[in-house]
Amino acid sequence: MAQGECNCGAVSFEISTDLSDVFVCHCSICRRATGSNGIAVVVIDNSDFRWLRGEDQIGTWKKPDADWQVWFCRQCGSPLPGANDETRTFIPAGLLSDGDENLKVTHHIWVDSKAAWDEIGDSGHQHREAFEQ
């Protein structure tokens, strides 16, 4: 079982499935949301996710005219897990504090949208757009 939390510890969660694949999204939306080259996430079924504390500290922002949303801690601003569809939860990999020993970047998505300065240097598969599991 994996666990994770935000920077200040106000929000924490647990995952009841084994983790392995990390997806790195390089799209312009994720770059702006994080201020970096994108965001690394693990993707799990909603049924394998549970909040432990701090649900009242979760803020959201929804991109106007798009079916896309981000979640963040209202106290420290850390990105938080969320679901952009009805079946899967997207968990920022950097939040995991336990259970991340087997994680490996396996897919880079939206690489056609990556920043000019972003160089992908690992062996993860590169996808021009989204990748469906």
Q: What secondary structure does DSSP assign to 42-53, as a single string?
A: EEEEGGGEEEEE
pTM for the full predicted model: 0.88
Query: What's the whole-number mean pLDDT along residues 107-126?
Result: 93
Record the tokens describing residue 84, joined without a space.
């952009």
Whole-number percent of the chain with pLDDT over 70: 96
How is the chain split into domains, by residue range?
A: 2-116
How far is residue 82's CA from residue 36's CA, in Å, rounded to a whole number?
Answer: 19
In this structure, CATH architecture of domain 2-116: Beta Complex (2.170)
What per-residue confidence (pLDDT) applies to 98?
A: 67
Largest pairwise CA distance in the chain: 39
Which of the two residues, 98 and 16, has the higher pLDDT score?
Answer: 16
Closest Cα to residue 16, out of 41, 51, 53, 50? Answer: 50
